[in-house]
Structure 1
């Protein structure tokens, strides 16, 4: 099997006709058709319904088109990483949750780049649970995540090293009026719209009790949106659709500009710790992981 056969098949789907696909692939149409046949022979299934006058994919082709595209993309990405490693040396991988990618990671990356521009680092942003799983499975060297104050993801006996990088408050906020006051009157309003986090998410579990529970006890709460996408919650809050708890570092400028008003005094909010984990090792080497870990333990920007 040749990789170009997969590329031919995907080009055929995108082009819509054999003639246009052959032109895109810079081969004659008969040669292109033979390569599609060779792919079908290797797979042992037909991909094209040749009884139709128009290009029609078989059920097998429709089912496996997306996996083939994903496989090809991952193959070329792996080739790119291998070439980069050969040319520039090994690469350290840091995985972090989406919220920290926006709020804290830019400052940390700038700090690391200023002090060790030669240390190659790749960031992979994902849901917090996926980040933890990737780190545990050895698919990432460093894990940057939020923890509820007083708890830690891993202990020193679990083969990882940890350094706290600062604290982060989850602040209850809503859009502000022209005078900078909350548009929702917590003294007199009985109905309050809530923009919440998914129940199974980390922030959803952190806020469920006592913060949102207390809100539900005191008010008629309407859940207008539930998502784990923190940036989306911020945008919905700025649009005036409800009350939400957001990381202070993410909304600092909004509070200072008077776009959002804090409800912290009335509703409260948890304190989180931003921590970085590293797979265990002696930490005395010259690999990118060791260099970056020493810097993270030195004087990084505070969360």
Structure 2
């Protein structure tokens, strides 16, 4: 289909006359008529009723004038996007576990902006299962997630590339008035209130596997709140509502200021890998993985 056919049709609708329309298009009337026939052949139906001494325009053509104009606009917009495509100014969709959105993504975005100033991100947070589903479904170009330090990589196909960003740690923390319940050896009473993760959540699975106290319902005597949202746990811990396990990257500033006290020396910590996955066919995603991997060497 020739785009000029649509332009011809619009001029014909505006003029309502073949002779005047041909003149506006700077071609002869027979040539203009041939182009209208070309449009009819492509469309599969006639838009003109031709008699010996007259030509009538089909009412259906006029009724769809707005749609024809919109179609011309979309085609020209598509041409421009293809002709002037710049991967560095694309919008990249990134599926990320909730905690990593706060603890890791901001630093990664700053690194990316240094190389691709016009790059835009569409951030899609969720639990790990939802993030993997979004990534496999093609709703996200990149998957950002945590992996337990002793866990194997996610079992994706060979067309999916994995990159390593760095390490983080889940650490047990207290804040608010509960800080004064910490003993000299860094321990807490076993019935101290706890803000725990659901055992079905990723952090819950990690803490449960290591039998960490105050991590989940199973290993807490006084779980006052259960939630998979680390940012919510942080606020509750800061207000002294209970012990909570949080990524160190999310809480190091409050630890340094004294608002939070780490109990890692007594209870230990869980090391986590921060990893990225992307389809090798996604050019901009591959470029980002190259940058992020290089920046962490």
Q: Aligning the two structures, in what range does the TM-score lie when normalised by the shorter sequence?
A: 0.5 to 0.7
Distance 1:191 1:290 in 2: 49
CA contact (8 A) 2:194 2:220 kept: no
CA contact (8 A) 1:144 1:274 kept: yes
Q: Which residue of 1 aligns with 2:47?
A: none
Q: Which residue of 2 aligns with 1:238?
A: 238
* Structure (1 or 2) with the larger CA radius of gyration: 2
Distance 1:94 1:153 in 2: 18
Aligned-residue offset at 1:275 = 0.3
Number of aligned pairs? 214
Q: Which residue of 2 aligns with 1:298?
A: 294
Q: Does 1:288 align with 2:284?
A: yes
| Secondary structure of the structure 1 residue equivalent to 2:122 | strand
Q: Give 5+ residue unaligned stretches, structure 1.
A: 1-78
Distance 1:188 1:257 in 2: 21
Q: Which residue of 2 aligns with 1:183?
A: 181
Q: Which residue of 2 aligns with 1:108?
A: 108
Alignment of 1:193-204 (within 5 A): 193-204=193-204
Aligned-residue offset at 1:245 = 0.6
Q: Give 5+ residue unaligned stretches, structure 2.
A: 1-73
Distance 2:118 2:220 in 1: 56
CA contact (8 A) 2:111 2:292 kept: no
Normalising by structure 1, what TM-score?
0.62
Q: Does 1:166 align with 2:166?
A: yes
Q: Which residue of 1 aligns with 2:44?
A: none
Change in 2 beyond 3 A, CA 1:205/1:141: same
CA contact (8 A) 1:175 1:239 kept: yes
Distance 1:169 1:256 in 2: 16
Alignment of 1:1-303 (within 5 A): 86=81, 90-155=90-155, 157-175=157-175, 182-185=180-183, 189-212=189-212, 221-281=221-281, 287-300=283-296
Alignment RMSD (CA, Å): 3.2
